[in-house]
Amino acid sequence: MISQEYIESMHSAVVDLRSKVSNTWATPDFNDCITFATIEIAEALDAELDEKNIYKRNHDIPEDGVMDELADSVMMLLSAISVEDIRSLFKHDTSIMSHHVDNDDRDLPALMMRISNLNYHVAKRSPGADSDNVIRMICFISQFALDNGVDIKNKLDERLQRILKKHGGE
């Protein structure tokens, strides 16, 4: 089960990294964060296609490509919100604590559909474009990863270390 503390700890790690590399790696605004998160899920679909070993690719995708891209998506979603957003949602929506992935939604196309819907609401500036839906998407991706045997927080930590090494910092 994805808890408030789990989401907050990932958020804290992302905020910490972004503060260390702010001079070389800017934090996008809310809308761009959602767009980048959508792109990362599309890249996870690309990695899933690569795992089929049917197609010739014009670039190499790491073995853990799907989960790495999902971790990147979570990072961008976490960059779009504040810790206050997280606390507010968990205070007012106790059902999020029991968030689970429906049997019909245990695949990447389902993730893509959900993030695309969020991206649509952001583009149209409609009521679905809010931090609560971003946090629900983070929970959904995190639970999807856990259901597939991967702790997305560990993947996120690996990705953040790679970014720190690449973009420097203090």
pTM here is 0.87
> Which stretches does DSSP call E strand in 101-170?
none
Looking at the chain, how many residues does it have?
170
Q: Single out the residue of 42, 40, 110 nearest to residue 72, CA to CA.
A: 40
pLDDT, one tens digit for every residue, the chain (170 residues): 788 999 999 999 999 999 999 999 999 999 899 989 989 988 898 888 887 878 776 666 666 689 999 999 999 999 999 999 999 888 887 666 555 555 556 677 887 888 888 778 777 776 656 888 888 889 889 988 998 899 999 999 999 999 999 988 65
| Gap between the Cα atoms of 33 and 38, Å rounded | 9
Q: How far apart are CA 144 and CA 25, in angstroms?
A: 28
115 within 8 A of 136, measured Cβ to Cβ? no
Which residue, among 7, 27, 31, 21, has the nearest Cα to 123 in the 3D structure? Answer: 31
Distance CA 37, CA 75 (A): 8
